[in-house]
Amino acid sequence: MHHDDSTPRSAPARPVQAVRRPRPADFADPAATADTPASSPRLPLSALARFRREHWFLASLMATVSTFVVLTIPGFAGASLEPQSAARTYLQLELPALSEIAEAEPLEQTAAAAGDWTTVTVRPGQTLGAIFSAQGLSATLMHRLLEHPGAREPLTRFRPGAEFAFQIEDGELRALRFDRDEATRVVLHVEGGHIREEKIEREVQRRVQMASGTITESLSEATARAGMSTASMLEMAKVFGYDIDFAQDLRVGDSFHVVYEDIYRDGERLRGGDILAATFINQGKTYQVFRYTFADGKTEYYDGDGRPMKKSFLRMPIDFARLSSRFSNARRHPVLGTVRAHRGVDYAAPTGTPIKAAGDGRISFAGWRSGYGRTVILDHGNGVTTLYAHMSRFSSYKTGARVSQGNTIGYVGASGLASGPHLHYEFRVHGVHRDPLTVTMPKPQPLPAGELARFREQTQPMLARLQQMQATASALASR
């Protein structure tokens, strides 16, 4: 649950008359059939000839009279269609002088003055040069606009879905419109050799929303039914991702209660915002998270005890993948067919899916490693290393580079000895393999006493909302 012709009638169809198939006799020459016996008496030929002459004379007379009536009595043809009592009113139409028509503005100029815009939505992989070329605009003009102060970043660092609007008249660019940020729209007017900037400030609001739901099919289905966007669903999965493996741990009957933000611009929903507070009940265990802002403006997520939600390592280094093979001391190799130990876990995912660093560390190896294929090994210090194998390609990081938790270090593939695209992930402590799904990590320290008191004061209103939603859901379930 989420808080916050008439069609004209056609004329009656006319009955379809039966059509008699023509017979050969219908097309026969009367002279040719004169000798053919008939059951009915025939007229003499002289009588037939006289009938034809009289017939043509009468037809000519009627045609002459009809033509005279039509030409001398205007509206005759339509008079029979109107009731005799209907009165006609004739109005004189005042037409503009020819000089006024000659001075009227051409249609094309009027349309341009009214502000006709051609809006282009950026597609994946599309460049600004390709967009300008599609509009018939030169690269020289594009570079002139890029040199305008404050225009280079929004015109070069855009993402798929961004919009550019062009006002073009007679093949010449008159104005370019784009969003510099969520609250500022910019119009660059091209006036001869000059570029004039117009800024339009737009109203951006953060609206607090509340949603509750129960898992019946999937997390995405449950959150959509509760009114949450896909972005908000992914954000919730991210903040709980250190404790809950949403690809493996979810069960039917799990539930959630969320307080989150939606961003609105000019009264229309723009995107999902931050998760402010949430409760997730997974397999009977309750997890809570609160977004906390420090005095210096820094924000982090903490559980109800003031401990950071962010752990030293991610539960899984890939989003929403399927666990295809577990840690085992004896597993039949899918390619070789031999039984051997499987010292890690496998996550099946489409080729090209990003692989994230499980924790902060340094890349100690990035290259080809026999059956592992393209492999990256991270050294996290204190004797802990992680291995990521069977990649289709590496990211831009090189051996020796430092990476932060969540950085993309490569992409899913099937290099080496692999039966299909997947990530093989290993976790080692002092060289000893551990099961990544069950290895125990030390809990992070809670906030200091002084900060903890401020945390409880700041998060109390959100805690009250969560408790209210949970009580409401329980009451509805008990009915």
pLDDT per residue rounded down to tens, the chain (479 residues): 555 443 343 444 433 333 344 443 443 433 333 333 344 344 343 443 444 444 444 445 454 444 444 444 444 333 333 333 334 433 443 444 433 433 333 333 333 334 589 999 999 999 999 999 999 999 999 999 999 988 899 999 999 999 999 999 999 999 999 999 989 999 999 998 899 999 999 999 999 999 999 999 999 999 999 999 999 999 999 999 889 988 888 999 999 999 999 999 988 898 889 999 999 999 999 999 999 999 999 999 999 999 999 988 988 899 878 888 877 765 555 555 665 678 899 999 999 999 999 999 999 999 999 889 999 999 999 899 999 999 999 999 999 999 999 999 999 999 998 889 999 999 999 999 999 888 887 778 899 999 999 999 999 999 999 999 989 888 887 77
In a domain, 91, yes or no: no
For residue 126, report the phi and psi dihedrals to the nearest 5 degrees: -80, 140
Q: Considering 186, 201, 216, which residue would you say is the last residue of a domain? A: 201
Structure tokens at 194: 């000059």
How many angstroms separate the CA atoms of 315 and 309, rounded?
A: 12
Q: Which of 177, 201, 225 is the last residue of a domain?
A: 201
In our burial notation (b when 16+ CB lie closer than 10 A, e otherwise), range 243-268 reads: bbbbbeebeeebbbbbbbbbbbbeee
Q: What is the C-alpha to C-alpha distance for residues 462 and 365, in angstroms, rounded to an integer?
A: 45
Task: Go through 152-189 and write b for each residue having 16 or more CB atoms within 10 A of its CB, e for each that does not.
Answer: eebbeebeeeeebebbbeeeebbbbbbbbeeeebbbbe
Beta bridge partners of 453: none
Q: Give the pLDDT score at 49.
A: 42
On whether residue 25 sits in a domain, the answer given is no
| CA–CA gap between residue 378 and residue 394 (Å, rounded) | 13
Token reading at 439: 């290895």
Q: Which helix (H) or strand (E) holds 99?
A: helix 98-103
pLDDT in tens, 268-278: 898 889 999 99
Return the closest-CA partner of residue 412 out of 344, 317, 335: 317
Instruction: For residues 191 and 133, state if they share a domain.
Output: yes
Residue 251 lies in a domain: yes
Domain with 165, as residue range(s), is 117-201
Q: Is residue 7 part of a domain?
A: no
328 lies in the same domain as 414 = yes
Query: Which residues partner with 302 through β-bridges?
Result: 290, 308
What CATH number corresponds to the domain at position 459? Answer: 3.10.450.350
Tokens 């020459």 belong to residue = 29
Same structural domain, 235 and 295 = yes
Q: Which of 153, 175, 201 is the last residue of a domain?
A: 201
User: 206 - beta bridge partners?
Assistant: 263
Is position 52 within any domain?
Answer: no
Residue 145 φ/ψ region, left for φ over 0, alpha for ψ in the -120 to 50 degree band, beta for the rest: alpha
Asked if 142 and 241 sit in the same domain, the reply is no
Same domain (yes/no): 344, 410: yes
DSSP secondary structure code for residue 173 in this structure: E
Q: In whole angstroms, give the CA distance from residue 411 to residue 344.
A: 18
Do 388 and 473 lie in one domain? The reply is no
CA angle at 433 for the pair 431 and 436, rounded to the nearest 5°: 130
Alpha helices in 351-446 (DSSP H): none
* 256 & 286 share domain: yes
**CA gyration radius for the chain?**
41
Domain shared by 196 and 259, yes or no = no
Phi, psi angles (nearest 5°) of residue 221: -65, -40
Q: Where are the alpha helices (DSSP H) in 147-217?
A: 152-156
Whether residues 165 and 208 share a domain: the answer is no
Q: What share of the chain is helix, strand, coil (3-state, %, to 5)?
A: 25, 30, 45
For the chain, the domain total comes to 3
